[in-house]
Structure 1
Amino acid sequence: MTVLVIGASGATGNKLVEQLLIQKHKVKVIVRSPEKLPKSWKTNDNLQIISASLLELSGNEMSEIVHDCNAVASCLGHNLTWKGVYGQPRKLVTDATQRLCDAIKSNNLQSPTKFVLMNTTGNRNRDVYEPISFAQKCVIGLLRLLLPPHVDNEKAADYLRTQIGQKNTSIEWVAVRPDGLINEEEVTDYEIHPSPTRSAIFNAGKVSRINVGHFMASLITNDDLWTKWKGQMPVIYSK
């Protein structure tokens, strides 16, 4: 299996890449600063490093990169700096998701490509009933006004829900929603739910980045798990 990972230099993206490499899959990564990647990656025959800015690639270049990929995973996020939060591109995750999906569709492959998007529990799945308190609605409203990355995450998931949908012949998708991310060295027990079981604002849970990477890799490589969650926005918590 060949998997393209976007956001591989990030704290969660690199965990996903490591999980895929442990399983001996072929991995492609697109990164602007390959010098920041682990040295072991640069000598791994199963890893192809593409040095580029994703949004600056042409449509043809994108199509060529994804043409042999069984799956595409995005762990993109905004840097937690003033420029990263309020500078351009404000729709980094959404634009990347749309361009990658366009590239996948342009290849007219015989079987659908899996697309896994890392999202957030702060974003509701509007395909199902996910009630939240009035207070949380107010806080989310403020986040939409004050934090462009939150709107970006919402719009990226909405693109998959409404534009790709459930019956696309080229793309099947899952949007993984981790709760509060923490760092751990080893994969531990975790649980997956169709919707949040606690308030993402007032009673947030925790999940390690390596557990998120493990779940995303499992979705990509385990067909039974994929069938269970495709077209959905599962929430992950560490136990």
Structure 2
Amino acid sequence: MTVLVVGASGATGSQLVEQLLIQKHKVKVIVRSPEKLPEAWKTNSNLQIISASVLELSDSEMREIVSDCNAVASCLGHNMSWKGIYGQPRRLVTNATRRLCNAITSNNFDSPTKFVLMNTTGNRNRDLNESISFAQKCVIGLLRLVLPPHVDNEKAADYLRTQIGQNNIAIEWVTVRPDGLINEENVSDYEIHQSPTRSAIFNAGKVSRINVGHFMASLINDSNLWAKWKGQMPVIYSVTFPK
């Protein structure tokens, strides 16, 4: 299987790439600064490094890149700096998701392409009308006003929910919602839930980036796991932390 990963140079995206390589997939990555990637990636015959900004590629270049891909995964996010939060592009994740989906659709593949989007538990799955407390609603409303990346995450997930939908013949999708991300060296036990089991604002859980990468790679690799979660927004927690 060939998988395209965008956001591969990030802390979680790099873990996803490693997991895909462990599973012996062929992986393509689009990165702006390939010199920052691990040296082992640069000599791995199963890894193709494309030096570019995902939003600056032409439509034809994007179509060519995804033309042999069975799956696409996005771990894009905004740098936690003033420029990263308030500078352009403010709709990095949403625009990349839209462009990638358009490229997949325009290729007219015989079977659906899997699309996995990394998101956040701070974003509700509105298909399920997930309930949250009034206090959390107030905080989320404030985040929408002061943190453009939060709105970007919401709009990217909503694009998959409402524009791609549940019955698209070209694309099947899963939006993965990790809670508080931490760094760990090894994959550990983790739980997957349809909706958050705790408040993302007032009682956040933890999940390691390597566990998120493992789950995203498993979704792509395991047809039964994919069938269970496609068209949904599963939440992931590491089980080594108290609920």
The interval holding the TM-score normalised by the smaller chain is: over 0.9
Partner amino acid, structure 2, of 1:198: R
Alignment of 1:72-111 (within 5 A): 72-111=72-111
**How far 1:236 sits from its partner (Å)?**
0.1
Please give the alpha-carbon distance, in whole angstroms, between the structure 2 residues aligned to 1:66 and 1:24: 19
Structure 1 unaligned segments of length 5 or more: list them.
none
Which residue number corresponds to residue 69 of structure 1? 69
User: Over residues 61-107 of structure 1, what are the superposed CA-to-partner deviations in whole Å (9 max), with x where a residue is unaligned?
Assistant: 00000010000000000000000000000000000000000000000
Which residue number corresponds to residue 191 of structure 1? 191
Partner amino acid, structure 1, of 2:6: I
Q: Name the TM-score, length of structure 2 as normaliser.
A: 0.98
Which residue number corresponds to residue 29 of structure 1? 29
User: Over residues 112-170 of structure 1, what are the superposed CA-to-partner deviations in whole Å (9 max), with x where a residue is unaligned?
Assistant: 00000000000000000311000000000000000000000000000000000000000
Q: How many residues align?
A: 239
Question: Is 1:171 equivalent to 2:171 in the alignment?
Answer: yes
Partner amino acid, structure 1, of 2:47: L
Please give the alpha-carbon distance, in whole angstroms, between the structure 2 residues aligned to 1:89 and 1:207: 28
Which residue number corresponds to residue 118 of structure 1? 118
Please give the alpha-carbon distance, in whole angstroms, between the structure 1 residues aligned to 2:120 and 2:18: 22
Which residue number corresponds to residue 238 of structure 2? 238
Question: Is 1:144 equivalent to 2:122 in the alignment?
Answer: no
- Three-state SS of the structure 1 residue aligned to 2:129 is coil
Please give the alpha-carbon distance, in whole angstroms, between the structure 2 residues aligned to 1:116 and 1:178: 13
Please give the alpha-carbon distance, in whole angstroms, between the structure 2 residues aligned to 1:119 and 1:104: 20
Please give the alpha-carbon distance, in whole angstroms, between the structure 1 residues aligned to 2:179 and 2:32: 27
Please give the alpha-carbon distance, in whole angstroms, between the structure 2 residues aligned to 1:227 and 1:210: 22
CA RMSD of superposed structures (Å): 0.3
Which residue number corresponds to residue 128 of structure 1? 128
Please give the alpha-carbon distance, in whole angstroms, between the structure 2 residues aligned to 1:129 and 1:108: 33
Question: Is 1:13 equivalent to 2:23 in the alignment?
Answer: no
- Three-state SS of the structure 2 residue aligned to 1:102 is helix
**How far 1:220 sits from its partner (Å)?**
0.3
Please give the alpha-carbon distance, in whole angstroms, between the structure 1 residues aligned to 2:110 and 2:24: 24
**How far 1:15 sits from its partner (Å)?**
0.1
Please give the alpha-carbon distance, in whole angstroms, between the structure 1 residues aligned to 2:138 and 2:228: 33
- Three-state SS of the structure 2 residue aligned to 1:29 is strand
Please give the alpha-carbon distance, in whole angstroms, between the structure 2 residues aligned to 1:22 and 1:221: 11
Please give the alpha-carbon distance, in whole angstroms, between the structure 1 residues aligned to 2:54 and 2:200: 30
Which residue number corresponds to residue 200 of structure 2? 200
Aligned-pair identity in percent equals: 84
Please give the alpha-carbon distance, in whole angstroms, between the structure 2 residues aligned to 1:237 and 1:23: 22
